[in-house]
Amino acid sequence: MGRSPCCDENGLKKGPWTPEEDQKLTDYINSHGHGSWRSLPKLAGLNRCGKSCRLRWTNYLRPDIKRGRFSEDEERKIISLHSVLGNKWSRIATQLPGRTDNEIKNYWNTHLRKKLLQMGIDPTTHKPRTDLNHLMNLSQLLGAASFGNLLSPWNSALGLQADASQLARIQLLQNMLQVINTSTLLNMDNVGLLQNQNLNPFEGLNGTSTLYQKEPLLIGQEYLNQGVIPQAPSDSLGIFNSSSGFEGQFNTEDFLASNNSTSSLSSSACENQTENPMPALVSGSPGTYTVNQVESKTDPNQFLTQSSTSTSFEVWEKLKDDEISDFYWKDILESTPSSPSPMTW
């Protein structure tokens, strides 16, 4: 049922606005203000409904609208805010002067969403994707990105492909570990190997994603201080920090609590994390703590050979055989006690 569309009545015009209509609307609002949107069209001499006028004004004609490409900074801000607020476009828009909610929404759907997906990040939860098809894509991305960097200095200059590559590495490794971790054949002795190493899995990566690098750590306190009330779309979020790697899990309650205290998140937040043992890439809070990290001495084959999941094994094989993978990536995957990886775990 529902209410009939406001524009159905009286044969009001719909569709694209003409320059004449734009002019009428602009002139009227400039001299009178919009007042009641419902009565505005009549007063301004427009054959439109008030809603259409409001939309046209707020999304297009408003003088303070910023046009043109989104900057990298704006991208980071959007992603970070989205990780906390979800699809609250109007709330996100309040943090981006000159950008409308509609513009941000469109930009998210057409650019950022795809970008995150390519990087192996679920744009809804901001967590690593875990489907096995995606694992294959990631290993391909690794190859393509490495190859691309060799050929094109522009990619490196822009930092885009390099970022995707680095994140993909992390992602792939994470996803593999996650698959391994959730494998029914995985025994608890192996789980033990994944824990309690005070080592940094991201040391050796030269920086991190330009999308995730700085802003995430800003969100918690800074945006809260600006009156941004979080409505975390996911049950838990993690923190990716360029200097210390993943730093724990996060949930809405902790986020809210962090508004009163900037101290580290409670350990229970970590312990309660069962649905997705791997942390997400975007933080919701400045609080930090260390989570399970993979031991450097662990031979991944130890897990994979025990797994009946052929797909993950194929991923592993494909990755190992990938001729254009970086040295250190191979090192990570094939590291043994006698040949320490350049990336300290």
Partner DNA sequence: AACACTGGCAACCGCGAGCCA
Partner DNA sequence: ATGGCTCGCGGTTGCCAGTGT
Under the binding rule (CB under 7 A), the answer on residue 101 touching DNA is yes
Rounded least distance, CB 197 to DNA, Å:
40
Under the binding rule (CB under 7 A), the answer on residue 220 touching DNA is no
Rounded least distance, CB 147 to DNA, Å:
19
Under the binding rule (CB under 7 A), the answer on residue 60 touching DNA is yes
The nearer residue to DNA, 21 or 247, going by C-beta atoms, is: 21
Under the binding rule (CB under 7 A), the answer on residue 244 touching DNA is no
Under the binding rule (CB under 7 A), the answer on residue 56 touching DNA is yes
Q: Which of 24, 41, 46, 52 binds DNA (CB under 7 A)?
A: 52
Rounded least distance, CB 14 to DNA, Å:
4
Cα(300)–Cα(316) distance, integer angstroms? 9
Under the binding rule (CB under 7 A), the answer on residue 54 touching DNA is yes
Rounded least distance, CB 168 to DNA, Å:
20
Q: Of residues 109-138, which lie at the interface with DNA (CB under 7 A)?
A: 109-111, 114
Q: Of residues 30-49, which lie at the interface with DNA (CB under 7 A)?
A: 35-39
Binding-site size for DNA (CB under 7 A) equals 39
Under the binding rule (CB under 7 A), the answer on residue 174 touching DNA is no
Q: Which of 9, 10, 11, 15 binds DNA (CB under 7 A)?
A: 15
**Nearest alpha carbon to residue 119 among 263, 280, 278:** 280
Interface with DNA (CB under 7 A): 1-5, 7, 13-17, 35-39, 50-52, 54-56, 59-60, 87-91, 101-103, 105-107, 109-111, 114
